[in-house]
């Protein structure tokens, strides 16, 4: 685990949390290659970013436990082929749990929240 995360975690009483989300921000090249010591790894992809991301950044998609494809409400307005995107994801991570969501419309958020709750309860 990277020292910056370890230092922050050492300052928290982790027994007080049921769920702690660590956001690994940046581009899809560097952050995906650093293991942070989390129990589950989730990648949030955004429709406007393009359907080519699994092909350009395979390391980001390999081994994630869940994939959230967000902003699906924009599908009618942007050039994003869901079938092409998902073929790329499945080639890298067969059977990955995937959620199609829109924070604007609320579509898919209940299933995503259920997954989070279920996985927060599971002690590993």
Digitized pLDDT (tens) for each residue of the chain, 124 residues in all:
445 677 777 888 888 887 777 777 665 555 556 666 677 889 999 999 999 999 999 988 998 999 999 999 999 999 999 999 999 999 999 999 999 999 999 999 999 999 999 988 755 5
**What's 66's domain CATH number?**
3.40.50.300
Structural domain count, the chain: 1
pTM: 0.83
Taking the CA atoms of 68, 71, 73 and 75 in sequence, report the sign of the dihedral they define: negative
DSSP-derived secondary structure letter, 119: H
* Containing structural domain, residue 64: 3-121
Quote the CA–CA distance of 111 and 101 in Å, as a whole number: 9
């Amino acid at each position: 685990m990277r020292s910056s995360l370890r230092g922050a975690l050492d300052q928290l009483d982790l027994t007080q949390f049921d769920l702690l989300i660590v956001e690994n921000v940046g581009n899809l090249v560097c952050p995906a290659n650093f293991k942070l010591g989390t129990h589950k790894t989730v990648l949030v992809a955004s429709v406007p970013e393009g359907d080519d991301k699994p092909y350009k950044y395979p390391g980001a998609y390999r081994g994630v436990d869940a994939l959230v494809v967000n902003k699906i409400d924009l599908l009618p307005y942007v050039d994003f082929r869901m079938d092409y995107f998902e073929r790329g994801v499945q080639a890298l991570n067969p059977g990955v749990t995937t959620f199609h969501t829109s924070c604007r419309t609320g579509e898919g958020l209940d299933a995503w929240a259920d997954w989070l709750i279920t996985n927060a309860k599971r002690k590993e």
